[in-house]
Amino acid sequence: MYLIGFLLILIFNIPALGADFCRTNFEPQYKYYKVNPNTVSTHFTKSDYQIHEKIGSHYFSVIAHLTTQGYIHFKMILRHETSPMRSPNLPSGQKQFDAIMDYFSHISKSTHAPINGVYGEWTPAKKGELSDNYNMFFRALNDYMKRFSLSKEEAAQLAAFDTWSGKQAQRYGFDKVNILKLEPDYIKVLYSR
């Protein structure tokens, strides 16, 4: 009797098992957000993770790319300067970052290629957009230079971890930073282990 019950459960759950265990193209489980097909479009490949949403005149997006060297580039626009409105379907940046890491970690396991780090690239805000990392970086940079009499390069090493991106990278064990570009209108860093 137990065997028949077990077989019935197994037979009726095979499609669900197949969806998780037999995929060749892994797509993230939408555990962090609900997808409204009228406003949200998605695109997932082995190297790209994209979610776009348009609500009225506002565009929200989460875009990430995994390079062949195992580094993740990402950009998020989850709120706008001209409106207090946040995306109703895309939650906080931390949950989005977790979803990106979860997605690429799955890809990494299937290809046996590790995730080696995360890039941070920041510029001044464009019209209507916010540039939190850029502003946090320069605020911390100036503070470290003034309070501790550090050189710009030394202060930049510390300031990179005072940004939102730096804090997320640290949560995943990327506790080293290489400052690749440090210009008034463009900062590029690489967080690694």
Q: Is residue 19 part of a domain?
A: no
Q: Which domain holds residue 152?
A: 31-192
> Does the global pTM surpass 0.85?
no
Beta strands 71-77; 117-122: pairing state: parallel
* Contact present, 99 and 74 (Cβ < 8 Å): no
pLDDT of residue 130: 64
pLDDT tens profile 39-97:
788 889 999 999 888 877 777 888 999 999 999 999 988 776 666 666 777 778 898 89
Q: Is residue 70 part of a domain?
A: yes
Q: Among 188, 29, 46, which Cα is nearest to 119's?
A: 188
pLDDT of residue 131: 82
**Residue 173 or residue 4, greater confidence:** 173
Q: Is residue 73 part of a domain?
A: yes
pLDDT of residue 84: 60
Q: Is residue 94 part of a domain?
A: yes
| Residues 150-161 as b or e (16 or more Cβ within 10 Å = b) | beeeebbbbbbb
Q: Is residue 13 part of a domain?
A: no
The domain total for the chain is: 1
